[in-house]
Amino acid sequence: MAPTQNPQGQYFCEQCEGRYDQKGDCPKCPEEPLLNLLDEDVLLMLKQFDDARWQKRVGLLTGISGVICLPLLALVLFGGKFGFIVYGAAMMGLSGVLVAIFPAKRKTPDMGQLF
Protein backbone atom coordinates (compact mmCIF):
# COMPACT_ATOMS: atom_id res chain seq x y z
CA MET A 1 0.00 0.00 0.00
CA ALA A 2 1.38 3.38 -1.00
CA PRO A 3 1.87 6.05 1.67
CA THR A 4 -0.97 8.54 1.93
CA GLN A 5 -0.29 12.25 2.11
CA ASN A 6 -0.97 13.95 5.44
CA PRO A 7 0.11 17.53 6.31
CA GLN A 8 1.02 16.35 9.83
CA GLY A 9 2.62 13.04 8.74
CA GLN A 10 5.74 11.64 10.34
CA TYR A 11 7.52 10.93 7.04
CA PHE A 12 8.83 13.66 4.71
CA CYS A 13 9.93 13.74 1.07
CA GLU A 14 12.77 16.22 0.62
CA GLN A 15 12.19 16.41 -3.14
CA CYS A 16 8.51 17.46 -3.24
CA GLU A 17 8.22 18.47 0.46
CA GLY A 18 5.24 16.14 0.96
CA ARG A 19 4.35 14.66 4.35
CA TYR A 20 3.09 11.08 4.64
CA ASP A 21 1.72 8.67 7.24
CA GLN A 22 3.71 5.58 6.26
CA LYS A 23 7.34 4.90 5.48
CA GLY A 24 8.53 3.79 2.08
CA ASP A 25 9.26 5.65 -1.14
CA CYS A 26 7.48 8.84 -2.12
CA PRO A 27 4.60 8.06 -4.49
CA LYS A 28 5.18 11.34 -6.40
CA CYS A 29 8.99 11.24 -6.70
CA PRO A 30 10.56 8.13 -8.27
CA GLU A 31 13.06 6.37 -6.01
CA GLU A 32 12.96 9.10 -3.36
CA PRO A 33 12.81 7.59 0.14
CA LEU A 34 10.60 9.15 2.78
CA LEU A 35 12.54 10.50 5.76
CA ASN A 36 11.43 9.93 9.35
CA LEU A 37 11.05 13.33 11.03
CA LEU A 38 11.29 11.75 14.49
CA ASP A 39 14.92 10.78 13.80
CA GLU A 40 17.28 13.53 15.00
CA ASP A 41 19.93 12.50 12.46
CA VAL A 42 17.42 13.10 9.65
CA LEU A 43 16.54 16.53 11.05
CA LEU A 44 20.25 17.39 11.28
CA MET A 45 20.77 16.26 7.67
CA LEU A 46 17.81 18.37 6.47
CA LYS A 47 19.16 21.39 8.37
CA GLN A 48 22.55 20.91 6.72
CA PHE A 49 20.86 20.80 3.30
CA ASP A 50 19.06 24.06 4.13
CA ASP A 51 22.31 25.67 5.30
CA ALA A 52 24.06 24.63 2.08
CA ARG A 53 21.23 26.13 0.01
CA TRP A 54 21.49 29.37 2.02
CA GLN A 55 25.28 29.58 1.57
CA LYS A 56 24.96 28.96 -2.16
CA ARG A 57 22.31 31.69 -2.47
CA VAL A 58 24.38 34.20 -0.47
CA GLY A 59 27.46 33.48 -2.61
CA LEU A 60 25.51 33.92 -5.82
CA LEU A 61 23.88 37.17 -4.71
CA THR A 62 27.20 38.55 -3.43
CA GLY A 63 28.76 37.86 -6.83
CA ILE A 64 25.85 39.58 -8.58
CA SER A 65 26.13 42.61 -6.30
CA GLY A 66 29.89 42.73 -6.95
CA VAL A 67 29.25 42.94 -10.69
CA ILE A 68 26.51 45.56 -10.25
CA CYS A 69 28.81 47.70 -8.08
CA LEU A 70 31.77 47.33 -10.45
CA PRO A 71 31.51 50.91 -11.78
CA LEU A 72 32.25 52.13 -8.26
CA LEU A 73 35.79 50.79 -8.66
CA ALA A 74 36.42 53.90 -10.74
CA LEU A 75 36.53 55.68 -7.36
CA VAL A 76 39.83 53.91 -6.72
CA LEU A 77 41.44 56.13 -9.34
CA PHE A 78 40.30 59.23 -7.49
CA GLY A 79 39.90 58.12 -3.89
CA GLY A 80 42.60 55.47 -3.42
CA LYS A 81 41.85 53.26 -0.42
CA PHE A 82 38.62 55.14 0.21
CA GLY A 83 37.35 53.92 -3.18
CA PHE A 84 37.83 50.29 -2.08
CA ILE A 85 35.98 50.99 1.16
CA VAL A 86 33.05 52.55 -0.72
CA TYR A 87 33.00 49.64 -3.19
CA GLY A 88 33.05 47.05 -0.39
CA ALA A 89 30.35 48.82 1.61
CA ALA A 90 28.11 49.21 -1.44
CA MET A 91 28.62 45.57 -2.44
CA MET A 92 27.84 44.23 1.04
CA GLY A 93 24.83 46.52 1.43
CA LEU A 94 23.42 45.45 -1.92
CA SER A 95 24.11 41.81 -1.04
CA GLY A 96 22.10 42.19 2.16
CA VAL A 97 19.20 43.74 0.29
CA LEU A 98 19.25 41.00 -2.37
CA VAL A 99 19.34 38.24 0.27
CA ALA A 100 16.37 39.86 2.00
CA ILE A 101 14.43 40.10 -1.26
CA PHE A 102 15.42 36.66 -2.61
CA PRO A 103 15.93 34.37 0.41
CA ALA A 104 16.90 30.73 0.00
CA LYS A 105 13.93 28.40 0.21
CA ARG A 106 13.87 26.41 3.43
CA LYS A 107 12.63 22.85 2.96
CA THR A 108 12.95 21.51 6.48
CA PRO A 109 9.62 21.71 8.34
CA ASP A 110 9.61 23.90 11.44
CA MET A 111 9.64 22.00 14.71
CA GLY A 112 6.22 23.46 15.50
CA GLN A 113 4.88 22.01 12.26
CA LEU A 114 6.14 18.50 12.94
CA PHE A 115 3.09 17.20 14.79
- Decide if 1 is inside a domain: yes
Within this chain, do residues 29 and 57 fall inside the same structural domain, yes or no? no
Return the minimum-mean-pLDDT range out of 4-13, 77-86, 96-105: 4-13
pLDDT at 77: 76
Which secondary-structure segment (H or E) carries 43? helix 40-68
Its domain, for residue 3, covers: 1-38
pLDDT in tens, 70-89: 888 777 777 777 888 888 89
As a whole number, the mean pLDDT across the chain is 82
Q: Kindly state whether residues 69 and 98 are assigned to the same domain.
A: yes
Q: What is the pLDDT of residue 72?
A: 82
Claim to verify: residue 60 and residue 24 sit in the same structural domain: no
Q: Is residue 46 part of a domain?
A: no
Exposure string of 50-64, with b = 16+ CB inside 10 Å and e = fewer, is: eeeeeeebbeebbee
pLDDT (tens digit per residue) in 35-44: 888 888 888 8
Q: What is the pTM of this model?
A: 0.70
Q: Which residues contact 98 (CB under 8 A, 6 or more apart)?
A: 61, 64, 65
Judgement on whether residues 28 and 73 belong to the same structural domain of the protein:
no
> Domain total for the chain?
2
The model's confidence at residue 3, banded by pLDDT at 50, 70 and 90, is low
Residue 44 lies in a domain: no
